[in-house]
Structures are given as C-alpha cells and as structure tokens.
Amino acid sequence: MGTISERKRKNGSKSYTAQIRIKRDGEVIYTEAQTFDRRPAAGAWLKKRETELAEPGALDALKKEKHILAEVINRYIKENEKALGRTKSQVLDKIKTFSIANMKCEDIKSEDIVSFARELLVGRKPQTVLNYISHLSTIFTLARPAWGVPLNKTAMDDAQIVLSRLGVTSKSHSRNRRPTRAELEKLLEHYTDRQTRYPPMLTMVPLILFGLFSTRRQEEITRLRWDDLEVENSRVLVRDMKNPGEKMGNHTWCDLPHPALAIALSMPKKGEFIFPFNGRSVSASFTRATALLGIDDLHFHDLRHEGITRLFEMGLTIPHVAAVSGHRSWTSLKRYSHIRQSGDIYAGWKWIKGYTAPNAEAKIEEEHQQT
C-alpha cells in the first residue's frame, strides 16, 4: 500500500517521499504523501499512517471534503479581483511544486512551514525566502474567514517569528550605490557608439538619462504613456507604481524635473508608450554593458538613488523631492543622505545640453526660488 521514493536535491542532499495509495475495485480512492530528509523517518511515518488508515471508519472519515494547500492557492488566484503582479503569480505557482502544497490544510503546523522555508533556502537568499513566506501568509490570512478552510494563521505567525530569529528569512539590505559621473559618461559613450554602428538596437541613452533625472524605476519608465504626460504641468501619471502595500492600480502623478521632461519630449511618437521598450531588455542590456566596461556592482535602479540624492543636493525640500520620486512616506526619503556636494553636479552636462522643453525651465527655476 505504501512506497518510498528517493529524490536528489539541488544541493546534493537527498529527500525521501513516503506515499500511500489505496485502491478499491481497481480505482484509487485515497492518496497521501509526506517528504522527509531521512529514509527511516519516511518508513516510520508510512507504518504509522498505514496502521491508522486500517482502523474501522478511518477511510469514511477521510471522504469528507478536505482541502489541500494547493487547492486554496488556486482558489485565491481565481477569485482575486485584483490583478496579481508577475512576481506574486510566479511565487504562488512555485509554492505548489513543494510537498507542503499537497498537505491537508488542517494538518499544516508551524514546523511544516519552517521546514518548507528551509527547503526554499537551498539555492536562494533569505530575502527571497521572506518573499515566498510573505505571499503564502496572505493565503493563511484569508482562507478561514473567506472560505472556511482551516488554515492556522497562528501557525504561520509563529513560523515567521522562528524563521526571522534563525536567519532563514531576512529583509533586503538598502543599497547605497551611486554611479559616478565618469561611470555614467562611460556608459553613455558606449551606447552612443553602439547606436551609431547598430541603429536597430535598443535606444539606451535617453532611457539612462530619463531614469537618472526622473528617478523612475525601469519598469515604470517602459509603462509611461503619451496620454498620461502633462507638459504644461511638467508631470506624468505613473501607473501601477511599486508600493509596499499594493502595486496594481496604484496610479500616482509625479513631477518631472526639466531634464526628464525634455528627454521624454525628444522621443518620437510611434505609439501609446513614450519609451516603447521591454523592461527586462533594458535591465539585461544595462547589466551586460557594465560588465563589459568593468563598472562594478551598478544596477539600473541605482540611477533612481542618484536622481533623488541629486535633488537633495540641489536644495529641494522633502515635499518637493517626494513629488518627483513618488514616495508616500517622507520618512523613507531619510536614507538618501549620501550628499557629496551642494548644487547640481549635472549642470551644463554635455549629455543634456541638446534637450529643451517648453515651460520646464520656468518650473524648475520656481522650485529653486521656493527652497
């Protein structure tokens, strides 16, 4: 009735899955499985469950509707009225491939969640594991009040405390990397040369400059629409802006400093989007270029950090900077304290001299006067 199968993990260790399958009249009427790190433990569990299932009435009790975790995850995805982000969808789909997804909801205890997190840690960073557990926690929060499914929220809360204390999960470290002007010039010269020799390639120069002066994230840049650009007010509607609480449907108006508005207006109107490129392609191209040029540990997202710090160096107040960056909490802006100088390091920079935009100069001058 029971079997044990051996599987080799990515880190070289082995796992043992004990499975029980009961047939009647040639049809499988019940199946159950658990995974263990040691074969003797799998064998002991198998023997114990076979004895329990042999008791009178045991199988009849199992015929009552019971949900496994994977079914509840599917229901959450199906019934969620909000569009799930790509990362969250991928995480939930991946969770369904682990043994915990086949457990009955009422049987999942804190130690099962801890064991699942340890499985996740193989080949992943604690920050990634925290992301998985956070998304799974949402399922535990909703299951009982929404559908009457007995997922134990307290077990999840206890597991999260344990995982944090043991270092299995941890928050991402804040990056303080700022590109130097020399590094940016190196990148821009590289892309200018590439664009001259290979015209069909991705136009990275305006993307880099816009990322720097607008403080926008790469995925936000590639979603900006011409219809959402207000030239007269020097601002743009950023759709689905990243936010700790939610992302989808979080649309925010953000001010555009003069160079950013000018760069946006320099783009040809060939469709709905101002920068009609794929965000992943932008990131991949940037990563390849920095590696080729020997620029160490620089990400496209670091342009946002540089752009926000530049605004503080220019003397803008926290409310003015938040109006550009889109930060809801002014407290979040306190970490942008890596001030190198006072004034605009990019004033008169050759890479933005060719850009002009109506009303933008007056707006930025007005901001300087207010500060």
Note the pLDDT of residue 166: 94
Note the pLDDT of residue 202: 76
**CA pair distance 329, 136, nearest whole angstrom:** 26
Please report, in tens digits, the pLDDT of each residue of the chain (371 residues total).
Answer: 689 999 888 788 888 998 888 888 888 777 778 888 899 999 998 898 888 888 887 777 665 557 899 999 999 998 887 777 778 889 999 999 999 999 999 899 999 999 999 999 998 999 999 999 999 999 999 998 888 888 999 999 999 999 999 999 998 766 788 899 999 999 999 999 988 888 777 789 999 999 999 999 999 999 999 999 999 999 999 998 876 545 555 789 999 999 999 999 999 988 999 999 988 889 899 999 999 999 999 999 999 999 999 999 998 888 899 999 998 876 777 666 556 667 888 988 999 887 765 554 444 444 445 44
Neighbours of 109 (CB within 10 A): 14
**Local structure of residue 319 (DSSP, 8 states):** H
In 3D, which of 157, 163, 161, 88 has the Cα closest to residue 121? Answer: 163
**CA pair distance 17, 38, nearest whole angstrom:** 9
Note the pLDDT of residue 367: 43
Note the pLDDT of residue 370: 47
Note the pLDDT of residue 298: 94
Residue 212's contacts (CB-CB under 8 Å, 6 or more residues apart) are: 184, 303, 306, 307, 310, 346
In 3D, which of 352, 349, 203 has the Cα closest to residue 275? Answer: 203
What the block records as the tokens of 343 is 């004034």
pTM: 0.60
Note the pLDDT of residue 360: 47
Collapsing DSSP to helix, strand or coil, 124 comes out as: coil
Strand order through the sheet with 252-255 = 229-230, 235-238, 252-255
Q: What angle is formed at CA 130 by the lines to CA 18 and CA 165, rounded to 5 degrees?
A: 90
Burial tier of 144 (Cβ tally within 10 Å: 0-12, 13-18, 19+): middle
Q: CA end-to-end span of the chain, whole Å?
A: 78
Note the pLDDT of residue 65: 59
